């Protein structure tokens, strides 16, 4: 499902602010995609934005990945409850 410009801008803004989890959430809500597909899309988009705008996209850290995994697990667990 293609993203409209408003949602795409919101996702880009979240990535520029270093809020990957928010970007994943926005993408999931807009497309109905699963968590894995959404995470992969946002990671690919982040890499593309980092290449195009290196000063605007924060570098990710190992801690952020752990937090993302924890939050993603909590979201899935809550949805299943």
- Tens of pLDDT, residues 7-55: 999 999 999 999 999 999 999 999 999 999 999 999 999 999 999 999 9
pTM beyond 0.85: the answer is no
- Residue 39, number of CB atoms within 10 A of its CB: 20
Q: Where do the domains of the chain lie? A: 5-80
Q: Label residue 77 by pLDDT band (50, 70, 90).
A: confident
CA-wise closest residue to 32 among 71, 74, 9, 1? 1
């Amino acid at each position: 499902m293609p993203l409209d410009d408003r949602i795409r801008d919101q996702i880009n803004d979240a990535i520029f602010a270093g809020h990957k989890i928010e970007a994943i959430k926005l993408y999931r809500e807009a497309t109905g995609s699963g968590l894995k597909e959404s995470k992969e899309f946002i990671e690919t988009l982040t890499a593309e934005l980092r290449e195009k705008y290196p000063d605007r996209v924060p570098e990710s850290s190992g801690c952020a990945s752990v937090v993302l995994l924890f939050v993603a697990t909590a979201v899935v667990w809550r949805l299943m409850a």
